[in-house]
């Protein structure tokens, strides 16, 4: 199967090497320039809010109001138009970077694929190292070639739907509970800069069985995802359970969806990305 390209970066500190060794996500890659994103959603901010949230949209299959109980995963809904994602940004590590590449490829023939959604990704990114100061050795995502803190990047892109999938680079090194805390801290930092944004926390996708390690394994990923759902219920974030369509009968990553089954066992094929995108289009709030 086709493997996801990895991008090396010389001069990383010993700490970053430890993160990569324990986490399984790739190193920093150069990011494409990000064009401006439209701003359409002016819903109320999240944070310490009621566990029941609602968002009203304006046209087509998005007309009317959908009320979502954030203590449960966002349920299946009618498929939305591409424009739903015009004001979205996807934040993540090398797994989300593959989604970015998949979107770019599809936009060659379908210009409106995933709307105008933009990406803030880095192969080594996690909720912990996202808090580092920006330096030549830090692993922050880039906008037009310049590293940015995630919260500043969301603000610069004027994103109103913020999809976060992070944890693969955190669980093995920092444990589940600490990683949940830093996820919430990141979400709150985003909301301080972009109070009108909505936070969509995506579950971490599983890995193939033979790639599991002592600390980074499907059991801990499942526990982490369960606690992400609890966090969403407490803070009013939306929980998007994309992992649910990535699992085989044993709870491992479906082999057809894995691009590196004999390696890290976490990266996705185009088939895996298609399942992810189809889920996003039919699970909206």
Q: In whole angstroms, what is the distance from residue 279 CA to residue 285 CA?
A: 13
Query: For the chain, what is the radius of gyration of the CA atoms?
Result: 17
Q: In the prediction, which pLDDT does 44 show? A: 37
User: Parallel, antiparallel, or unpaired: how do β-strands 146-147 and 142-143 relate?
Assistant: antiparallel
pTM of the model: 0.80
- Residues of the chain with confidence (pLDDT) below 70: 1-67
Residue 7: per-residue pLDDT:
39
Q: How far is CA 35 from the centre of its chain?
A: 19
- CA triple 84-88-126, angle to 5 deg: 145
* pLDDT attached to residue 14: 38
pLDDT at position 32 is 41
Contact 86, 115 (CB under 8 A): yes
Q: Two tokens at 248?
A: 């085989």
Q: How many CA atoms lie within 13 A of 15 on its CB side?
A: 8
Q: How far apart are CA 277 and CA 275, in angstroms?
A: 6
For 282, the token pair is 């039919």
The per-residue pLDDT for 188 is 98
> How far is Cα 241 from Cα 74, in angstroms, rounded to an integer?
7
State residue 46's pLDDT score: 61
In 10 A of CB 120, how many CB atoms?
29
pLDDT at 68: 77
What does the pLDDT read at residue 166? 98
Residue given tokens 């109070």 in the structure block:
195
For 217, which DSSP code?
S
Write out the DSSP string of 67-92: EEETTSPPPP-PPPPGGGGTTEEEEE
């Amino acid at each position: 199967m086709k493997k996801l390209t990895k991008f090396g970066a010389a001069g990383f500190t010993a700490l970053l090497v430890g993160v990569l060794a324990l986490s399984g996500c790739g190193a920093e890659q150069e990011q494409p320039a990000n064009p401006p994103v439209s701003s359409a959603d002016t819903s109320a901010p999240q944070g310490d809010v009621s566990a029941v949230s609602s968002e009203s949209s304006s046209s087509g299959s998005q007309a009317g109001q959908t009320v979502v109980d954030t203590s449960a995963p966002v349920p299946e809904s009618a498929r939305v138009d591409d424009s739903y994602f015009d004001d979205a940004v996807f934040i993540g590590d090398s797994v989300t970077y593959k989604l970015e590449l998949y979107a770019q490829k599809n936009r060659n023939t379908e210009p409106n694929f995933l709307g105008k959604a933009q990406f803030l990704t880095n192969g080594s990114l996690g909720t912990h190292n996202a808090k580092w100061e920006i330096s030549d050795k830090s692993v922050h995502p880039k906008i037009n070639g310049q590293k940015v803190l995630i919260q500043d990047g969301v603000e610069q892109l004027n994103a109103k739907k913020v999809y976060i999938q992070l944890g693969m680079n955190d669980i093995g090194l920092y444990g589940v509970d600490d990683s949940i805390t830093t996820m919430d801290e990141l979400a709150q930092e985003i909301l301080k800069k972009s109070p009108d944004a909505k936070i969509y926390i995506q579950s971490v996708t599983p890995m193939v069985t033979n790639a599991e390690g002592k600390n980074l394994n499907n059991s801990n990923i499942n526990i982490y995802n369960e606690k992400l759902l609890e966090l969403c219920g407490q803070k009013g974030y939306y929980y998007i359970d994309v992992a649910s369509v990535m699992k085989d009968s044993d709870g491992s990553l479906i082999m057809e969806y894995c691009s590196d089954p004999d390696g890290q066992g976490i990266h996705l094929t185009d088939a895996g990305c298609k399942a992810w995108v189809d889920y996003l289009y039919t699970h909206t709030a």
